[in-house]
A and B are shown apart, each in its own frame.
Chain A
């Protein structure tokens, strides 16, 4: 499994993680997971709820240690958060005490960028995610989806080589999600980024990715990797094409099994409680 391609910019090697909760059997969230992402590639990781996607995300980002295995970025084993990696979290992560502009400028501020430049750059990234005109607002005055875009712009502000996103569009409506997806693809091309997107939305995965990694329910492992061979840019015609539908169907066939297993297990857990 460990044949390495020379240009893999990010590789997950044999990563396992268990969680121990008192008075309960340990949860094996990830079991010897492998994944390789090539430079400039857009990879989606898809899996049912609770399969360990966020756990994988946090381990790649260096926020929680794995039990075994390692994360390698550009040939170097990481130890904690890597400079090349920018993260967008699943949960609400904007700073309520800062305006949109100040939120986006936060990493720049800590990097010592002078105020004038900071504001200019923040305005640029706000515009990129479709938030121009909202620079002086506070997160509480924005919708969930807008807040998520603020978080995205804040991460983009440092122009990371590798963008990690954990279900960033989950709170968005379908139309905004699609449009923002197109935006992300544009940004990625402009900044020549590598993207690892975690999602549970099949259409989103097919619309955006070069490859889709399908995760199994606990223990989480990458069950299958599917190449998405569709032309870019993927406008409405592509999405309504038979081929697109075929990919969606194929992923659903794989996921269905896993999702059903997840559902059964949670039902059993509920039954045990009563």
Chain B
């Protein structure tokens, strides 16, 4: 008795299997493409003026132009450099303060709500203060982004270290490890996934801070370029830059999400 696999009711076809595994991704791509098509059509059919809304094809052309003359890459490099500096500082500051607030329970409890309040406050509105402090320099951007990025890192580091179960620490004690060994061999790996999700948030907030600051003050990379193109009424180019910034955010999100899943893979 031989059964052909295609089309028989018990065994779904290759296509169906693929569809079941990736249906939401495919549907998402489909919807996205559909929206882009409507957008394109609304301009080529003349419903909306192309001086008001640049169609996707125009954005792609503008993107190609911007990458060919090197402006996009330069701006991206500048933004990423500033972001790297801010992230580095935020990591150092965030992890060490988070660690101290974990070590000292009382101070940890005291500062937790304060940090939450700062985090919930409209922090980017502080940007003029940084301008006054540092002048129109990259330091102003780095400082704002560092503060913005380190708060979630502080909060999550403390939270993550505190969330390590007592039994795991006791396993270390029963093996007569030193407190330092317990910290590095047990507490840190156990806390790693939650800590990383704080770092991920910190990175995203730092990126937000950098690009917004650049745009507001015409300084630095992507944000500055966007502002410049906007002043020159280069509408397709500004659309292209906005799109690439969103893509950058999406990429950072995707990459860090992937790392996060790798870290907490086996939990």
Contacts and interface: CB of A to CB of B under 8 A. Distances in A.
Contacts of B175: 81, 106-107, 110, 158
A61 B190 contact: no
A82 B257 CA distance: 43
Given A93-B168, A93-B171, A110 B186 contact: no
B267 interface: yes
Nearest to B181: A110
Contact of B174 (A85, A110, A141): A85
B167 interface: yes
B185 interface: yes
B173 A81 contact: yes
B25 interface: no
Contacts of A80: 173, 176
B133 interface: no
Main SS class of interface, A: loop
A96 B266 contact: yes
B266 A89 contact: no
Given A63-B173, A63-B174, A138 B266 contact: yes
A77 interface: no
Identify which of B171, B177, B189, B266 gathers the most chain A CB atoms within 10 Å of its CB.
B171
A155 B192 CA distance: 24
B136 interface: no
A95 B173 contact: no
A168 interface: no
B177 A95 contact: no
Counting from the closest, the 10 A-B pairs by CB-CB distance are A138-B266, A87-B174, A91-B167, A97-B189, A96-B267, A93-B167, A107-B175, A93-B171, A63-B170, A81-B174
B165 interface: yes
Contacts of A106: 175, 185
Task: Please tell me the size bucket of the interface on A.
Answer: 20 to 34
Contacts of B167: 89, 91-93
Given A81-B173, A92-B167, A98-B189, 19 more contacts: A61-B170, A62-B173, A81-B176, A86-B174, A87-B171, A87-B174, A89-B167, A91-B167, A93-B170, A95-B189, A96-B266, A97-B189, A97-B266, A106-B175, A106-B185, A110-B175, A110-B181, A140-B266, A141-B266
Contacts of B266: 96-97, 138-141
Contact of A140 (B168, B176, B177, B267): B267
Interface string A137-151: 011110000000001
Contact of B171 (A58, A89, A97): A89
Nearest to B188: A97
A165 B3 CA distance: 55
A256 interface: no
Interface string A69-99: 0000000000011010111010111011110
Nearest to A82: B176
Contacts of A62: 173-174
A95 B267 CA distance: 9
Contacts of A81: 173-176
A165 B266 CA distance: 26
Interface in B224-256: none
Interface string A95-124: 111100000001100100000000000000
Contact of B186 (A95, A138, A139, A140): A95
B177 A110 contact: yes
Contacts of A61: 170, 174
B265 to A, nearest CB: 8
